Chains A and B, each alone.
Chain A
Amino acid sequence: KQEVTQIPAALSVPEGENLVLNCSFTDSAIYNLQWFRQDPGKGLTSLLLIQSSQREQTSGRLNASLDKSSGRSTLYIAASQPGDSATYLCAVENGGSYIPTFGRGTSLIVHP
């Protein structure tokens, strides 16, 4: 059974810092990996989707990388802003199942 782990569980940083969120998964036979953002009291919004054949994806100040062989992905946020404060979840889609498996998330606070 696929297991997805996110480290750290919580992070508090001053504005302007570059930061890295980590996601690891136990079964490397994945179709894709996705990073979501969840604001308090809201649903999930997709940030970046990396297909299994890709190594990274970029959107603005966000960069996500994927290393299937080691079962790891990182989400890099450049020049963090208070508006980046949210919970970030990682989800993997496994071979043989279309339904993604979610990690527990990293709760990020960026303070001015």
Chain B
Amino acid sequence: NAGVTQTPKFQVLKTGQSMTLQCAQDMNHNSMYWYRQDPGMGLRLIYYSASEGTTDKGEVPNGYNVSRLNKREFSLRLESAAPSQTSVYFCASSETLDRAYEQYFGPGTRLTVT
């Protein structure tokens, strides 16, 4: 049981480049989330997916798109990376949205945009 896995672990992009962060969970959870964590800041929700086939904006969605590919996988795409998107990105999942307090987190992706 791997839990929540994220790839890549580290990434450096130039301004304007695009990339997709991958997330997968093997706990048969319905809900999945993407957060960003900046130095000295708490986690801020980017997007979430309550169930397969649905996605909703969180607190800071600008500059990002998401795809809930299937029940296991939830990807985050940066179409044109900006230095302000330098951050650590965490994916999480929970059994259902109303059990969001029982989120399981992945190890994070450290992204630097130069």
Chain A residues with a Cβ under 8 A of chain B: 4, 9, 31-32, 34, 41-46, 49, 89, 91, 93, 98-105
Give the chain A neighbours of B101 by CB distance below 8 A: 31-32, 34, 49, 93, 100
A102 CA to B90 CA, complexed, in Å: 13
**B97: CB under 8 A from chain A?**
yes
What band does the interface of chain B fall in when counting residues whose beta carbon is under 8 Å from A? Answer: 20 to 34
CA distance A89 to B45 in the complex (A): 15
Binding site for A on B (CB under 8 A): 4, 33, 40-45, 48, 58, 90, 92, 97-98, 100-103, 105-108
Residues on A with C-beta less than 8 A from B100 are 93, 98-100
Chain A residues whose C-beta falls within 8 Å of the C-beta of B90 in the assembled complex: 43-44
Q: Which residues of B contact A93 (CB under 8 A)?
A: 100-101
